[in-house]
Amino acid sequence: MRAKTLRTWLDYLQSKGRLAVIDKPVRLKYEVAAIAKKLDGKQASYFTQVEDYSVPVVSGICSTREDFAEALETDLYGLIPKFTQAVASPIPCQLVDNNQAPVKQNITRENIDLMKLFPIPVHHDKDSGNYITAGLFIVRDPVTRKQNVSIHRLQVSGKDKLGALLLPRHTFHLYKQAEEAGRPLECAIVIGVDPATLLASQASTPFGVDELEIAGALRGEPLEVVRCETVDIDVPAFAEIVLEGKILPHVREPEGPFGEFPKYYGPRSDKEVVQITAVTHRNNPIFYTIVPAGYEHLLLGGIPREASLFQTIRQTVPTVKAVHMSPGGTCRYHAIVSIKKRNEGEAKNAIFAALANSFDIKHVVVVDEEVDIFDMEEVEWAIATRFQAQRDLVVVHGAQSSKLDPSTNEGVGSKMGLDCTVPLESEPMRYLRVAIPGYDSINLDEFVNPGNSKAVRFAEESS
């Protein structure tokens, strides 16, 4: 396995020259986020001197599609099949003792003050305060004892208190059950894990599937977990930091605004509150933050969504080759799909399937299999030369959409699909791509500056 822990992954990035170590003192407010964002998509950033904190901050540990592929020991086109396979065949976790779990090296139960313990940054100008953006939020279903993992934005609302945005998904469902019975819901927030576990936390699965078991499948061996001190939750044993706590019943306090993935602010409103009951961490812990709306954030959401989208389209169009949720479309709103068209009309069915997969998907572009859907210039070329709005455009109005898309009417909006596939019966020369014979096999080094080339004189007379 390439990266069993955050630390082995950082070692790997450093060995490849993809870790920027920033030793100069930086401010918690905006400066960490600004530098990390400048390096987004290029290098991970590791800050050793964040104000007076002894704890370093890391961000951007996977900020390209290639980073995730490497962490999973596959390539660009292998990423989605590998993730899909892991979702289909989870591996149960292995429970280890405290003494085998580095995350238990330090345990704090009293006088918890999150901002004194950890450098939790402020990211955007209108954010309401310091936010934990990369915490794996783990809860347990008391009936099945299966755990659920997701990431929620967490506002530091007090010394030992967090405000959480719980969208109506699995965590929220378990919380509402507990709240209706008048009970809190126990939780653990895990900061600083390996890329596979991080990505697994974002899997689109039915309720009842433990995302840590998907992490095990991605890693090819059971994920080692350890029981928390004050709550009945199991957390990755090699995590950097764990915050234990409970979501309080019938308590709501102001949270937000907060800069979100579409590069707009999510609004302030009364939201659920997490009371922290214990903090455990490794010796010399590393604090991990995700800069919202950066490539790391977008890809973390996008790759697992692509896996789900691919499965949905394949049920309708078995010859789907690949799907791409592009960063320009926030890795949520735009889906690009390549298919090997066998029957006329299949591209339109692929559009319907994509729009049915998630209400977030707004625009769908379907292209033939030979178009590289990870190259957006290729995609634009297909739209430019293979699409006629009169026959190739699908538009549906008044459908459920993303509430975070400010152009919708409170989450109700239009959907659009573009069929950019070549008509099957078209005359072969009409859509034949130009090609230069021998182009692919040319080795430029043999022709350009091979070492013995003479300088050419262009200007004949001195002026």
* Contacting residues toward Mn ion, per CB under 5 A: 148, 170
C-alpha angle 290/293/299, rounded to 5°?
A: 75
Min CB(136)–Mn ion separation in Å: 12
Compare residues 204 and 275 and give the one whose CB is closer to Mn ion. 204
Compare residues 148 and 289 and give the one whose CB is closer to Mn ion. 148
Compare residues 77 and 207 and give the one whose CB is closer to Mn ion. 207
- Evaluate whether 363 touches 383 at the Cβ level (below 8 Å): no
Min CB(296)–Mn ion separation in Å: 21
Compare residues 152 and 170 and give the one whose CB is closer to Mn ion. 170
Min CB(137)–Mn ion separation in Å: 10
Compare residues 210 and 346 and give the one whose CB is closer to Mn ion. 210
Separation CA 401–CA 361 (nearest Å): 7
Rg (CA), the chain: 25
Neighbouring residues of 269: CB distance < 8 A, sequence distance ≥ 6: 254, 255, 256
Compare residues 148 and 357 and give the one whose CB is closer to Mn ion. 148
- Evaluate whether 88 touches 213 at the Cβ level (below 8 Å): no
Residue nearest to Mn ion (CB): 170
Min CB(171)–Mn ion separation in Å: 8
Q: E strands, 256-289, where?
A: 258-259, 265-266, 269-281, 287-288
Min CB(208)–Mn ion separation in Å: 8
CB-neighbour burial class of residue 372 (10 A; exposed 0-12, middle 13-18, buried 19+)? middle
CA diameter of the chain: 92
Separation CA 460–CA 463 (nearest Å): 9
- Identify the helix (H) or strand (E) that includes residue 418: strand 412-419
Strands 287-288 and 57-59: parallel
Min CB(353)–Mn ion separation in Å: 22
Structure tokens at 255: 């949270």
Compare residues 2 and 173 and give the one whose CB is closer to Mn ion. 173
Min CB(305)–Mn ion separation in Å: 14
